[in-house]
Amino acid sequence: MEYSRLDSPVQFLKGVGPRRADHLKKLNIGTARDLLYHVPRRYDDASTITRIADLKVGMDANVIGTVRSKGVLPTRKGLRIFQAVLQDESGMITASWPGQPWLDRKLREGDEVLASGPVKFFHGRQLHPREFTVVERAPRGEGAEAGGDPEAPTERRPTPRAAGTVFVSYPSTDAIPQWVLRAMFEKNLEALLAEIDGDEYLPDAVRRELSLPTLSEAFRKLHLPATPAEAEEGRRRLAFDELFFLQLVQALARHREQEEEPGIRFERTNELIRPLHESLPFTLTGAQARVLREILGDMVSDRRMNRFLQGDVGAGKTLVALFAILLAVESGWQAALMAPTEILAEQHALKLRDLLEPLELPVALLTGSVPGKAREEILESLRENRLPIVVGTHALIQDDVRFAQLGLVVVDEQHRFGVRQRMALGEHGGRRPDVLVMSATPIPRSLALTLYGELDLSILDELPPGRTPVRTLLRRPSARDEVYGGVERALAEGGQAYVVYPLVEESEDLELKAATQEYERLRTEVFPERRVGLLHGKMAADEKDRVMRDFREGELDLLVATTVIEVGIDVPNASVMVIEHAERFGLSQLHQLRGRVGRGDRESFCVLLSSAGEGSWERLKIFASTDDGFAIARADLQIRGQGDLFGAQQHGRDPLLSFADLTRDEELLLDARRLARGIVEADPELSTPAHARVSEILEARHAERLKLWKVG
């Protein structure tokens, strides 16, 4: 991209300088462009501002007033309260901040303040602000603290924000408060908007079709809105840009994976598929039948399948994957299923062998624990095409593993593997195989399209009939003895149970029960007659596998564990799970944990023990009220926010999405996806003049992702 003044250091902007530029680094602002992209955190419409004279006790209000006096009041109990008298044209009110005496150094007499909070009665009306913003700083020479900041304005001039109807608040720091940021935008916004036109990449026709403003219009509406609706118009355009360029990376990756090399055109003979279908003691669900049509349709076409199969716990993903495996095998190709842990790989191998017993089709298991001679026999059989199906862990992508004719790769629990690991299994010589990745961790469709946009999406949104429902109970810690009594009754009836903790060892910072300490207590004091095991992520891999195997085979009655059991354990006899400090887990994580019980025919329970406050308690009540993993995932996204859910998808310090909100921008995401895929289909190299600017911006935004996917 040609050099732009927007890429110059922020220190050269008016009103910044070297000292403030250094402080701006804490806000991830290093260039003029970074300042322009600094996302407002909130807007206050002047129409929602209440005159001070109209404030009544019990109201929750926004007010704007000038600080006329201020000070810190001590109390007999040692609490220090900062108070400031705010005045507007209608009257005055005392604003009170208990326990925040340090605000006396932050606010000056003469500052104009926007404050939001409840109006309470304490020796008269008082405003108790939840948050406040200095709309305009008192100039030097005004108020009791003249001569404060040497870079403060020398005269009192209303900023465009103060004069308009909408007040913009930004993420700020003590060194760079609101009034400093507002002054920076006031002095530099017009010049920055003139420069941003050079980044425009959307043709006018596309913008009109999508009802999006130009970039310069978007930033003007973002930073200088006349109404909240205008601010939203600006945000939507910048959100579209984020989603579009992310989808463009994924569209290029998809093209590379599916189109650049010819796919395998599998031939369906039904030699294996029909016998398996006829041997099943149940009928496929409608969702399984629909998803199978999508997968098998990909496999019999000329292009490579690259599909993401998402389904709730118990929705039947493994069976769907097996039909795909059989299509590959009956066409003369080999298939590999890769799982993140040895115990999960073992379970898949056992399940596949059981289902394929009527077909007399061998299934090999290749993990790090397979001894040398047996491992060599498996490797030789794979090289000589005498072994059609192999299930394994990371051991499948070791350098000495060679397939004669690998046609299909199935990756289970996709989020446990990186992109490079997934791609590695598909690069074992010969033609690149079709790829099916699966996850039992439900995520909202918008998040799936964002994180895995290079994959086509299939969703199993229906559970097979007859699945034992799990009753979810929410209890306070005071009921722990009663809960343990219920666990003992389940064990006495021949069942098994889990007790899950959020920590491996006790933390000095958090008063949480930890698995290692509680294991000793449960083993010696609470369940002394029971066989109790311990499982956590810090244990060696072979030790973890041994404990999980003992529990699965009934050698242990009770398993004390951390979230290492979130995936990978299928024990039909386990009917009770107790989760301590349940408020410390995300809803989707709780759903995965709950999915470890109710896998057999016993009545099953999941008990959440929590001392959470009202907000977290309500969140747990949402979880307890439904067993729909997708509904829980949507609630989790709304409550926790998307940042917590991206995990390893983040690159560098910048968030993956700053403007886009996946809880409300799904239609925008679909528009971005359509445009990105259309451009790549028409111009996969982005080499035409029409796409030159698109290519430059893509490289600037996503250089690391392009390298990861070997595209661009």
227-246 tens-digit pLDDT: 889 999 999 999 999 999 99
What is the average pLDDT across 656-676? 91
- Mean pLDDT of the residues in the chain: 86
Whether pLDDT at 141 is above 70: no
pLDDT of residue 149: 46
Does an H or E element contain 125, and which? strand 125-127
Point out the domain boundary residue: 414, 437, 460: 460
pLDDT of residue 159: 37
Reference 691, options 712, 670, 673, 668; nearest CA is: 712
Point out the domain boundary residue: 460, 486, 506: 460
| Six-digit token string for 259 | 């189109």
User: Distance between CA atoms of 607 and 274, rounded to whole angstroms?
Assistant: 43
Q: What is the CATH number of the domain that holds 52?
A: 2.40.50.140
What is the average pLDDT across 619-631? 88
Q: Same structural domain for residues 340 and 442?
A: yes
User: Distance between CA atoms of 518 and 169, rounded to whole angstroms?
Assistant: 46
Q: Same structural domain for residues 99 and 138?
A: yes
Q: What is the CATH number of the domain that holds 496?
A: 3.40.50.300
What is the average pLDDT across 603-615? 91
User: Distance between CA atoms of 357 and 345, rounded to whole angstroms?
Assistant: 18
136-145, 151-160, 642-651: which has the minimum mean pLDDT? 151-160
Q: In one letter, which amino acid is 199?
A: D
Q: What is the extent of the structural domain holding 405?
A: 273-460
Whether pLDDT at 505 is above 80: no
pLDDT of residue 581: 93
Point out the domain boundary residue: 426, 460, 494: 460
Structural domain contains residue 12: no
Nearest 5°: phi and psi at 430? 60, -155
- Which DSSP string corresponds to 289-319? HHHHHHHHHHHTSSSPPEEEEEE-TTS-HHH
Structural domain contains residue 249: no
CB 532 within 8 A of CB 557: yes
Q: Per residue in 85-125, pLDDT tens? A: 999 999 999 999 998 898 998 899 999 998 988 999 887 89
DSSP-derived letter for residue 40 is: P
Q: Which residue in this structure is represented by tokens 């309500």? A: 618
* Count of the separate structural domains present in the chain: 3
Structural domain contains residue 683: no
Cβ of 310: how many Cβ atoms within 10 Å?
27
Q: Same structural domain for residues 525 and 500?
A: yes
Report how far apart, in Å, the C-alpha atoms of 663 and of each of 231, 260, 445, 615 are.
18, 34, 10, 20
- pLDDT tier for residue 413 given thresholds of 50, 70 and 90: confident
- pLDDT tier for residue 620 given thresholds of 50, 70 and 90: very high
pLDDT of residue 650: 41
- pLDDT tier for residue 652 given thresholds of 50, 70 and 90: very low
Structural domain contains residue 655: no
Cβ of 526: how many Cβ atoms within 10 Å?
17
Q: Which residue in this structure is represented by tokens 């930004």? A: 170
Q: Which residue in this structure is represented by tokens 């400031």? A: 84
Strand bridging mode 406-411 / 434-439: parallel
User: Distance between CA atoms of 682 and 206, rounded to whole angstroms?
Assistant: 16
User: Distance between CA atoms of 389 and 489, rounded to whole angstroms?
Assistant: 43
Q: Same structural domain for residues 308 and 332?
A: yes
- pLDDT tier for residue 156 given thresholds of 50, 70 and 90: very low
Q: Same structural domain for residues 436 and 485?
A: no
What is the average pLDDT across 666-672? 94
DSSP-derived letter for residue 464 is: P
Structural domain contains residue 476: yes
Q: Same structural domain for residues 409 and 292?
A: yes
pLDDT of residue 533: 95
Q: Same structural domain for residues 502 and 590?
A: yes
Q: Same structural domain for residues 612 and 476?
A: yes
CB 629 within 8 A of CB 313: yes
Q: Same structural domain for residues 85 and 160?
A: yes
- pLDDT tier for residue 175 given thresholds of 50, 70 and 90: confident
- pLDDT tier for residue 341 given thresholds of 50, 70 and 90: confident
Structural domain contains residue 321: yes
pLDDT of residue 155: 36
pLDDT of residue 589: 84
Strand bridging mode 80-88 / 91-98: antiparallel
User: Distance between CA atoms of 242 and 287, rounded to whole angstroms?
Assistant: 32
Q: Same structural domain for residues 505 and 427?
A: no
Q: Same structural domain for residues 516 and 438?
A: no
Q: Same structural domain for residues 375 and 516?
A: no
Structural domain contains residue 662: no
Q: Which segments of 164-227 does DSSP mark as H helices, in order?
A: 178-196, 204-210, 215-223
Whether pLDDT at 144 is above 50: no
78-82, 331-335, 655-659: which has the minimum mean pLDDT? 655-659
User: Distance between CA atoms of 242 and 453, rounded to whole angstroms?
Assistant: 13
- pLDDT tier for residue 32 given thresholds of 50, 70 and 90: very high
- The residue among 556 and 602 whose pLDDT is bigger is 556
Reference 609, options 519, 536, 501; nearest CA is: 501
What is the average pLDDT across 387-407? 91
DSSP-derived letter for residue 514 is: B
Structural domain contains residue 368: yes
